[in-house]
Chain A
Amino acid sequence: MNEFVERQMKLTWRPPKKSYDVVIVGAGGHGLATAYYLATRHGMSNVAVFERGYIGGGNSGRNTTIIRANYGIPAAVRFYQRSVDLYRGLEEETDRWLMHQQKGILWMAHSEAAVRAERMRAKLNTEFGAETEFVGPQQVHELCPQLDMSGGGRWPVLGASYHPQGATARHDRVVWALAEGAMQRGAHVHQNTPVEGLILDGERVAGVRTAAGDVAAGAVVSAVGGHVSRIAAMAGLRLPIRTHRLQAFVTNHYRQQFGPIVASSELFFYASQTARGEMLLGAEIDPQPSFSYRSSHDFVQDVCRRALCLLPFMSNLRVLRQWTGVCDMSPDYSPIMGQTGVPGFYLTTGWGTWGFKAIPAGGEQMAELIATGEVPELIAPFGLDRFARDRTMADRGSAGTH
């Protein structure tokens, strides 16, 4: 028997109505989390999520499932720590097994500059609630005995920042649990129903045109990934977003032996072992903007080469599958959440390579904004208007390896 077969969740599909209080575009993690928190925290269930494909089929189903809060600027650390905390309670709250595993993340330093950067990260993170400490080579070795501390003789491990709350969860299950939770409380999710346009009432966005007909809405939220620029253009907005490919791969499954998540921002890769036993590796975005979902050989070749420097035990593991997601990158490497200046139209985007870890907090905060009309303090710095106001959220900590 395969213990990883989903045996709990029940998805309930209903036909679309003509009108909802809130319409969310995109049934990925962020869209469904917004619906979930609207229903569970604010009693708002006259809500529909429209999805052009299947739920969680975009980046929510293509990411590397890492949850962490060790970002580079105070506002980001606070926000992601909220997400880490929500994730820790999500299995209990939904009564569903999400394969959440707190395993800690080690961020290697192979040079003095990196040692300083990791020390700095540890201090800043701890100050703002994301417990992180700088650990020396001996402790790194104890936390992850598989590491070649000499880095193949060329990338020695001089230390690492260690973020013990670093975790992983099964991405699909997170999506399904949020969908189920929202559906149970009356929210609708419509798969295979692309949103083709927005209905405008004067300046106000008053609904969506879908493949299944027009739907009126008190508020429309774009939680789209990958093609957000097109949805925003329908509302007359131009977003400072560029879309890039982000790739990853897994090996076949092997016995559980690899404890923490290991990352190196100088060798540009990170690795963890999934609950099922696969070694899962990712790296940075492709430098060229692209909407392509095609995987490249350069990626798997280079990451394998770099991984061998630190994790030579992987030498004879077989790589099973590689895949690609597309990331909406904002100019300052921080998400864009909140009001847009267009009445009735909300945005949650710019999720770059940090979208999965932000799902609960992003959904919770967007739900609060929509339900109360007040911008929650936690996401106030992340509004779209920050670019015009020269208040960008430059976050070096998230710009390296994610």
Chain B
Amino acid sequence: MATLLVDGQRVEARAGDSLLVAMLRTGVHPIGGGCLCMGGDCPNCLVTVDGVAYTRSCQVPARDGMVVRREHLGGEEPALLSDEPTSAGDAAPVRHVHCDTVVIGQGDSGREVAREARDAGLDVVTLDARDGQQVTGVYPGPLVVAADRAGRVLHVHPRREIVVATGAAEIQPIVPGSDLEGLVTARAAAELVAAGIDLGRAVAVGERPAGLPGDALVAHFPVGEGGWELVRFEGDGRIEAVIVRRHGDAGTTEERIECNTAVLGLGRNPCNALARMASDLPVRVVGSAAMEPELPPCPGDGTVCPCSGVTVADLDGVWERGFHEMELLKRATLAGTGTCQGGVCLPYLRSFLLQRGGRLQPAFTARPLNRQLTVRELAAGAHTAVTARSPLHDEHLSLGARMDRAGGWWRPWTYDRKDDEYRSVRERVSLGDVSSLGKMAISGPDAEAFLERIVPTRVATIRPGRCRYVLMLDERGYLLDDGMLCREADQDAGDRFFLTSTSGGSGFFELWLRDWVEAFSCDVRILNQTASLAAINVTGPLAARLLARAGARELPAFGRHRQARIAGVDCRVVRLSFTGELSYELHHPAADARTLWRRLLAAGAGFNVQPHGLETLLRLRLEKGHIVIGHDTDYDSTPRRLAHEWAVNLNKGDFVGRQAILRTNKQPLDKRLVTLLTDDPPPRETVEGPSAEGAAIHDGERYAGYVTSDAGTTAGGGAPMLGWLYLDAEGSLPREVTVDGRTARRVDGPTYDPEGERARAAVDIASESPQNVREFPVARPEATDLTAEAPAEPPRLRRLEATRVSATPKALDALVEQPPWPAGALAFRIAPDELLVTATPDLEVAGDPHAIVERETAFSYVWLDEAKAERFLERECEWRRPDARPAFAQGEVAGIPAKLWFEAWRTLVLTPAPFAAAFQRRLTRSLEEPDGDDA
């Protein structure tokens, strides 16, 4: 026996009672009256259960401790903000269920179909409202979404068929008094009687109800046949009498009979909305759900749509004023737009329209939702986008950094020493974490030819060991991204390049490259090393001396790069500059980042080395006039508008965007991104922050553009800005303009070190020797013997030492045939041209001299035992897992890309290290989540 509270009143429920039955047994009727259907097809039993309004009490099993409020529709509208405690912000738990066939509805025909399918050996899932399963929608996938009685959400993924056996809804009466209490459909009457609820004096209207004992009725009026007509119900809140009319040869007679309950058999309307959501899916409609809709008589008076409170008079009103289409009728009255989604009113709207001479359009596609799930239930199984973490994330936090999301990564915005961060770069030496840069290794016989076709710079003249700034354009000649292109000094393994992109561009970088590889049919290997390699920018006048103190012996000259061991870590050292100072970018395996970062800080302690955040970097680059993609650029930014013609070589042959540039170069230039410098102080109210961004630029009275970047006044005095400046009527750019009332002059080069002498400074490190460290031990990765590991408790993700190979599919086929790695290592073919080996052997790919083989430390892994794997994946893996063991599969798990290796009793999960923290959080949470109340 369950006890619940309804509006503060105790209601005892018996086993098997729905909430509605329990309420009616105690004599508590839902507010608002109206005919009860007990099938979930009308809005007449809505209540608020445990803070969730618009709950169909006929579809909810009565549970001990339920708190029910009847306030609804007839009463006040529910509040947006519930007094009930909610698990704010959390989504409901989800279960992914894969099967051959899903059968929705377990009436006679649904059960029959399910039985046949099972007999045929199919894997069948059944869903039934009587079991508390509310099917909300059928979606492409195919996917059937339902909530179960335990408050979980089921995502059912049928491979073969969706069977809709949802039966038919009984047509509701629409006459004056149809909103009284005491009206039930024939099916509801049978259910109430079966539950032992006394109907009192009951009168049947329409078809004689089945399932009622013979003595349950005091009268039966066969409305709908033989000239009988239902006129109205009378009563005060509750029904007291039924009035019917009989049209016979002897004229029309009216009868009134007193009763406590009216049992209505007015015909049926198929419940086929789920099928109409899925017209292009393998869906089969069976049983009454497949019947033709029956048309009730055109209503003469009363409420047509109880959800929206629309009367026949309302329909008449809009019809007379010209709203003659079904959709216009609905939109003008809002009939059919409430909770029951037209379940009550649609049959009557049809008969109204036909009676008035309108046209019925063919059945339309149904809009989800069939049953209204809550926001937290619909959110089940979804995660917000995960933000990548650099391997130095925790280092930044321990140095007091305020982290900020930028371009899909957490970046240190500031270490809260803004001025010192700036000065450490300009005056001493500073470290910046640039691990989020996109990084791509490119090799192959066509590597040079391929790059020549996709970047506007001449690639042929980049000599081994050199690097060059490159733009990446789209076919319209607009800037997509920029980066640097390095040609490897070591040409032993063929011609090889290293190409970077901005952090924000790293997401589409690989896709963009591979698209063009396909388009041009190039013989090229590509290995995305964005996460594999961390990168630290050592920048400032003392940068070279710091590196020497960290053990560097030889450093590349400006515009060059070389491999070097710095503080015991193998690095690619690239000398270019974004800050304007002497700078070395150190690209190195992600696993070594923390070691390198700490050793660099230690080695530079004598120079008072400081890290700098993104905020400072944006200011430094602005003084050098360097653009930030997406901030200074827009979708129409051609190299010419950006004043980057110098990075485009129109004479080298075709490249992506060249045709567009040739065409647009014939048009007069309209605007240009320029550097402006003002000595005037900023307006008082905008002293905080980069205040002039977005400010209009005026050339006298003429609006002449707007500012895109401003970092305030710099140490050297004057505030440099970047902005779009429109050419004047004569086709020239004004030299002097105003910004926010401040006078600014256009300058042709960078405002800081215009000649670039600081970035290109000659260095002499001969006198430096390693500092603050006795030695820099070389980090020797411990080989991970994965297969020997047992699942840990609790499961913790750990970094994997591995090798990644990009080679021709054929060469990889051969390699996998005769693996050169130790027994116990696993090799995963993550793409036809890519292999991940969980060991660090010295690999030679015999069949492909251009193969790229790299140490890979940017995956994290965890073994899960069978039970945990099942539990976790049932909740967090939407796609169907392989049946065979062992098996490899990859896809999104818990909203994060993952690779899965299924063994008989355990499962290995691999995920990119930048997402490992988020994955760990989601794993732990999912394993801790309660199973739900299966009662």
Residues of A within 8 A of B (CB): 1-2, 4-7, 9-13, 53-57, 61, 74, 110-113, 115-117, 119-124, 127-128, 146, 148, 152, 154-155, 172, 176, 191, 251-255, 257-258, 266-267, 273, 276-277, 279, 293-297, 300-302, 304-309, 312-323, 331-333, 389-392, 394, 396, 399
Contacts and interface: CB of A to CB of B under 8 A. Distances in A.
A50 B107 CA distance: 47
Instruction: Across the A-B interface, give the 10 residue pairs with the lowest CB-CB distance, nearest first.
Output: A11-B322, A120-B694, A123-B694, A312-B88, A305-B382, A318-B372, A394-B635, A304-B379, A394-B636, A305-B379
Contact of A297 (B145, B664, B693): B145
Interface in B818-856: none
B374 interface: yes
9 contacts: A2-B314, A5-B310, A13-B324, A267-B384, A297-B137, A304-B382, A313-B82, A318-B54, A319-B374
Contact of A317 (B325, B375, B693): B375
B contacts with A: majority SS:
loop
Nearest to B640: A390
A119 B689 CA distance: 10
Contacts of A332: 635-636
A149 to B, nearest CB: 13
Contacts of A318: 52-55, 339, 372-375
A396 B328 CA distance: 36
A22 to B, nearest CB: 22
Contacts of B695: 123-124, 127
Given A2-B308, A254-B53, A255-B76, A300 B378 contact: yes
Contact of B635 (A110, A123, A333): A333
Interface string B271-286: 0000000001000000
B82 A316 contact: yes
Contact of B693 (A123, A254, A276, A391): A123
A272 to B, nearest CB: 12
Given A6-B323, A252-B339, A318-B54, A309 B384 contact: yes
A169 B557 CA distance: 64
A396 B369 contact: no
B89 interface: yes
Contacts of B670: 391
Interface stretch (B330-338, B804-812, B908-916): B330-338
Nearest to B136: A319
B375 A307 contact: yes
Contact of B369 (A56, A74, A128, A319): A319
Contact of B404 (A112, A331, A333): A112
B374 A61 contact: no
B512 interface: no
A55 B309 contact: no
Given A294-B140, A332-B636, A5 B314 contact: yes
B725 interface: no
A316 B52 contact: yes
User: Which of B52, B372, B691 has the most CB atoms of chain A within a 10 A radius of its CB?
Assistant: B372
A391 B727 CA distance: 13
B367 interface: yes
A287 to B, nearest CB: 11
B543 interface: no
A321 B337 contact: yes
A34 to B, nearest CB: 20
A146 B84 CA distance: 15
A309 to B, nearest CB: 6
Given A54-B325, A112-B614, A390-B667, A301 B378 contact: yes
B634 interface: yes
B615 A112 contact: yes
A117 B405 CA distance: 14
A101 B645 CA distance: 49
B80 interface: yes
Contacts of B367: 295, 321-323
A390 B661 CA distance: 10
A2 B306 CA distance: 10
Interface residues of B, number: 91
Given A5-B318, A252-B339, A315-B374, 18 more contacts: A2-B333, A5-B333, A111-B405, A112-B404, A116-B693, A123-B693, A155-B384, A176-B332, A293-B365, A295-B139, A314-B375, A316-B84, A318-B374, A319-B374, A320-B337, A321-B369, A391-B667, A394-B635
Interface of B: 51-55, 76-82, 84, 86-91, 137, 139-141, 143, 145, 280, 308-311, 314, 317-318, 321-325, 327-328, 331-334, 337-339, 341, 365, 367-369, 372-376, 378-384, 404-406, 413, 476, 614-615, 631, 634-638, 663-664, 667, 670, 689-691, 693-696, 703, 706, 708
B693 to A, nearest CB: 4
Contact of A300 (B81, B365, B368): B368
A267 B53 CA distance: 27
B331 A172 contact: yes
A119 B86 CA distance: 35
Contact of B80 (A1, A276, A279, A300): A279
Contacts of B280: 294
Nearest to A9: B321
A13 B406 CA distance: 56
Contacts of A55: 328
B317 A7 contact: yes
Nearest to A6: B332
Nearest to A110: B405
B634 A394 contact: yes
A308 B76 contact: no
Contacts of B51: 316
A350 to B, nearest CB: 14
Nearest to A112: B404
Nearest to A281: B375
A121 B53 CA distance: 39
A296 B140 CA distance: 7
B634 A297 contact: no
A13 B311 CA distance: 25
A255 B77 contact: yes
Contacts of B638: 390
B368 A315 contact: no
Given A13-B322, A305-B379, A313-B88, A253 B77 contact: yes
B476 A301 contact: no
A148 B372 contact: no
A122 B317 CA distance: 46
Nearest to A392: B636
B397 to A, nearest CB: 15
Given A12-B322, A13-B324, A258-B80, A6 B369 contact: no
A318 B404 CA distance: 34
Contacts of A331: 476, 635
Given A61-B331, A307-B375, A315 B321 contact: no
Contacts of A251: 375
Nearest to B144: A297
A302 B338 CA distance: 24
Nearest to A320: B372
Contact of A2 (B76, B145, B309): B309
B334 A4 contact: yes
Contacts of B380: 301
A1 B615 CA distance: 58
A323 B81 CA distance: 25
Nearest to B613: A112
Contacts of A295: 139, 367-368
Nearest to B665: A390
A297 B635 contact: no
Contacts of A300: 368-369, 378
Contacts of B383: 305
A392 B635 contact: yes
A250 B299 CA distance: 29
Nearest to B634: A394
A315 B378 contact: no
B636 A315 contact: no
Nearest to A396: B634
A127 B381 CA distance: 44
